Amino acid sequence: MAIFPQTRTGAPALRPAAVRLPALRHLGPNWYATVMGTAIVATAGAALPLEVPGLRTACLAVWALSAVLLVLVLAARAGHWILHPDQARAHLLDPAVAPFHGCLSMALLAVGAGTLVVGRDVLGRPAAVAVDAVLFSAGTLAGLATAVVIPYLMVVRHRPARGTASPVWLLPLVAPMVSAAVGPLLIPELSPGQGREALLLACYAMFGLSLLATLVVLPLVFARLVHEGPLPLALTPALFLVLGPLGQSTTAVNQLADVAPGAIAAPYASALGAFAVLYGVPVMGFALLWLALSAAMVVRAVRRGMRFTMTWWGFTFPVGTCVTGAAGLARHTGLHAFTWLAAALYALLVAAWAFAGLRTLGGLVSGALLAGPGQLRPATARTT
């Protein structure tokens, strides 16, 4: 009996791509969330304004795990595009999946930042700077591309119905904000002069790009909740995605204020330091309001039978950005309240990451997470 199917000439034919690696067919861009959610545990832990014995070592181990995950997911996604191009194109044209393509950019940026913040302990500073520069450049270009391409597809191809706005829509828009938040790590590595100032102002431009886009989309999301009711149970964790642009923008203005004195003239440098507090404190207040609202919705969903899905990774990266935002405010205001807020949010982040990680590992072992579940689409009717 022939092991491989044969052609008419008797030569063995190649197996169809879907037969060779069927598990990759349904591996979507949302899997980059595992990389983002892991990397932020390391960088947020390193940013805490507290001395915790063993925390630095733990953050280093988590960063190494995030780097391994990035390589694995990049390889798996490349296999997905090569072996299943029809499904890859279908993901781009699916309004429920397409926004997750913004996660690629944030995964690259998060691991790059972690490399310079904690990975330098083992790689050395020159190697860490080189790795971060490559990942920052690639992540920023990918983020700017998705910030244009995905909204374009939403307008000309997806055409979502009224009342179907989802927090997932923020994913391609928040990617440039991540660049704005981690870009300051590279500014001191540039020679004084035009290069530093150009990168500083480019980060502020990406900050503005992402912030204004968020201010356009967020009212649509809240209007959908008010007029159409709660999200479907499986999508409820996506409410935490709103914390991403809030926490990340607060992180960005504080990080940029730290490096501004060495990159721009004195009048602007001091103004940017004041802006970090004047902007960050009100936005952090709104982030805590949204956190409370989202947590209440999650409790409601759990009581109604919400089960684990990959959307639970939404509990990780957005919360981590609030940790780094609160840590930045603690650094610039000197208030212990922000220090303890950062610590409390970090405890929540670690618990969410551990739970999501264990459930994801279990889903991979059982094969449930790669079995091709039905697409999650926004509901148009009120959920009771």
Which sequence spans correspond to the domains of the chain? 25-359
Which segments of the chain are extended strands (E)?
A: none
> Which stretches in the chain have pLDDT values below 50?
1-19, 374-384
Residues 6+ apart with CB under 8 A from 70: 35, 39, 107, 108, 111
Distance CA 148, CA 33 (A): 20
CB 184 within 8 A of CB 259: yes
Three-state secondary structure call for residue 269: helix
Distance CA 232, CA 376 (A): 9
Picking from 45, 75, 47, the residue whose alpha carbon sits closest to that of residue 61 is 45
Rg of the chain (C-alpha set): 21
Task: Read off the pLDDT of residues 341-383 as tens digits, 9 standing for 90 and up.
Answer: 999 999 999 999 999 999 999 988 888 887 765 444 443 334 4
Residues 6+ apart with CB under 8 A from 305: 233
Distance CA 357, CA 372 (A): 20
Q: In the block, which residue shows the tokens 């805590």? A: 288
Q: For the chain, give the number of residues.
A: 384
Q: What are the φ/ψ torsions at residue 375 (nearest 5 degrees)?
A: -65, 140
Residues 6+ apart with CB under 8 A from 200: 184, 187, 256, 259, 260, 263, 264
What integer pLDDT is reported at residue 21 of this predicted model?
62
CATH code of the region 25-359: 1.50.10.150
What integer pLDDT is reported at residue 369 of this predicted model?
83
What integer pLDDT is reported at residue 7 of this predicted model?
41
Distance CA 307, CA 329 (A): 36
Give the DSSP letter string of 239-264: GGGGHHHHHHHHHHHHHHHHHGGGTS
C-alpha distance from residue 13 to each of 1, 55, 83, 334 (Å): 15, 54, 16, 69
CB 276 within 8 A of CB 251: no
Find the DSSP H helices in the chain: 17-20, 32-47, 55-83, 85-92, 102-114, 120-123, 125-153, 171-182, 194-228, 243-259, 266-303, 317-333, 336-366
Task: Read off the pLDDT of residues 148-165 as tens digits, 9 standing for 90 and up.
Answer: 999 999 999 888 888 788
Three-state secondary structure call for residue 283: helix
Task: Read off the pLDDT of residues 9-46 as tens digits, 9 standing for 90 and up.
Answer: 444 444 444 445 667 888 899 999 999 999 999 999 99
